[in-house]
């Protein structure tokens, strides 16, 4: 296979998608990008509520919806209606994978729960995504990014000390949960190729968030200071944060002592920070405020381009703080072909390394494929 050929390893795999909002739809869109036939099941007349999360709207739905539902087919089914439930069962019978994001117990009540479906279709890989998992005291609570970030402790370490709690600028817990689901589904399909039997999988935003805090939990349990928000700083590395330059913002850092020495030289700070006092990272962490004030003053006197060029030449961590729009239009995104443009909306590809060889269709209109899919099942 050449680099220009389509990378579609899931060609022939069918996924029935009962998910909504972000984590599940992002995961199933990525499976579609890898070649799977993804059929999105939606509520008649309403559909996935993210269709209405706008403005802006393009092609009859929100830009948000288009960003995470491209390449799928849509069928509208009322799972409380026995006839539509039979259609859902028939679709599941043709599937390799089912993904659902109902609250615990709802899928069972609607007749598409994992227990019944896996018993009827033993080759099925059945994946559930929820906010707080299927068990535990919070299982029945609605779990979205903001509530999970609060309950997990992630919000506690985000933002600046003394300020109001801050959620992540993007729902990264949802994205990470979706990526975990992709990994689990791919592993289960591989296992099925050996055993002939599918598997039930469970994923939750809460488990993802707590897992992402692993280094924080380990540090505090080992006798480190209590957790707190650090802004753009790092609790154990100094300097390692954003600074204001004369005409913008830059991030810079020194992850080891040799890199710090190069940073000092590149910024002409040897008379202050070249002293033995600052030679090791522990001393720099202990003198954080004093050291960062010196670095901040020097960076503030220089243009962003000057800081970046000096530190890049010295092999020191440095980056401009860009807007998402700048990054999407920038040379690195263009080189990786990360953005696909479609008549008024720019779509970021998945991070699974398809190198722009797959062109996904637009997100479907509600029930756009309902008639065709019913005909296929007839």
Cα separation, 141 vs 124, in Å, equals 28
3-state secondary structure the chain: CCCCCCCCCCCCCEEEEECCCCHHHHHHHHHHHCCCEEEEEECCCCCCHHHHCCCCEECCEEHHHHHHCCCCEEEECCCCCHHHHHHHHHHHHCCCEEEECCCCCHHHHCCCCHHHHHHHCCCCEEEEEECCCCCCCCCCCCCCHHHHHHHHCCHHHCCCCCCCCCCCCCCHHHHHHHHHHHHHHHHHHHHHHHHCCCCEEEEEHHHHHHHHCHHHHHHHHCCCCCCCCCCCCCCCCCCEEEEEECCEEEEEECCCHHHHHHHHHHCCCHHHHCCHHHCCHHHHHHCHHHHHHHHHHHHHCCCHHHHHHHHHHCCCEEEECCCHHHHHHCHHHHHHCCEEEECCEEEECCCCCCCCCCCCCCCCCCCCCHHHHHHHHC
Contact assessment for residue 25 and residue 100, using Cβ atoms and an 8 Å cutoff: no
Q: For CA atoms 74, 79, 82, 86, give the dihedral sign.
A: positive
Catalytic (active site) residue 174: yes
Question: Are 111 and 100 a contacting pair, CB within 8 Å?
Answer: no
Catalytic residue among 17, 96, 174, 367: 174
Cβ 263 vs Cβ 210: under 8 Å: no
Give me the residues paired with residue 318 across strands.
252
Residues tagged active-site: 174
């Amino acid at each position: 296979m050449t680099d220009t050929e389509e990378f579609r390893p899931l060609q022939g795999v069918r996924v029935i998608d009962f998910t909504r909002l972000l984590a599940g739809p992002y995961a199933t869109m990525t499976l579609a990008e890898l070649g799977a036939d993804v059929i999105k099941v939606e509520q008649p007349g309403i559909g996935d509520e993210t269709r209405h999360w706008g403005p802006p709207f393009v092609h009859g739905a929100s830009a948000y919806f288009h960003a995470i539902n491209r390449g799928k087919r849509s069928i509208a089914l009322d799972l409380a209606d026995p006839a539509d439930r039979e259609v859902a069962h028939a679709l599941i019978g043709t599937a390799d994978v089912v993904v659902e994001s109902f609250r615990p117990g709802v899928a069972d009540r609607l007749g598409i729960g994992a227990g019944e479906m896996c018993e009827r279709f033993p080759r099925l890989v059945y994946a559930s995504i929820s906010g707080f998992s299927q068990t535990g005291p919070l299982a029945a609570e609605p779990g979205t990014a903001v509530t999970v970030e609060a309950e997990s402790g992630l919000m506690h370490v985000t933002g600046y000390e003394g300020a109001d709690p801050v959620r992540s600028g993007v729902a990264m817990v949802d994205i990470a949960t979706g990526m975990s689901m992709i990994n689990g589904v791919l592993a289960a399909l591989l296992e099925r190729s050996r055993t002939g039997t599918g598997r039930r999988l469970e994923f939750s935003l809460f488990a993802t968030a707590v897992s992402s805090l692993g280094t924080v939990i380990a540090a505090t349990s080992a006798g480190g200071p209590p957790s707190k928000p650090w802004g753009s700083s790092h609790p154990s590395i100094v300097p390692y944060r954003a600074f204001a330059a004369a005409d913008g913002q830059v991030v810079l850092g020194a992850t080891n002592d040799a890199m710090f020495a190069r940073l000092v030289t590149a910024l002409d700070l040897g008379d202050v920070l070249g002293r033995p006092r600052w030679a090791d990272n522990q001393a720099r962490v202990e003198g954080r405020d004093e050291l960062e004030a010196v670095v901040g003053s020097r960076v503030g006197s220089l243009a962003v381009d000057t800081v970046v060029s000096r530190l890049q030449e010295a092999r020191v961590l440095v980056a401009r703080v860009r807007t998402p729009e700048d990054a999407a239009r920038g040379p690195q995104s263009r080189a990786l072909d990360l953005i696909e443009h479609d008549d008024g909306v720019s779509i970021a590809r998945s991070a699974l390394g398809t190198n722009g060889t797959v062109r996904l269709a637009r997100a479907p209109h509600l029930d756009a494929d309902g008639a065709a899919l019913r005909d296929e099942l007839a």
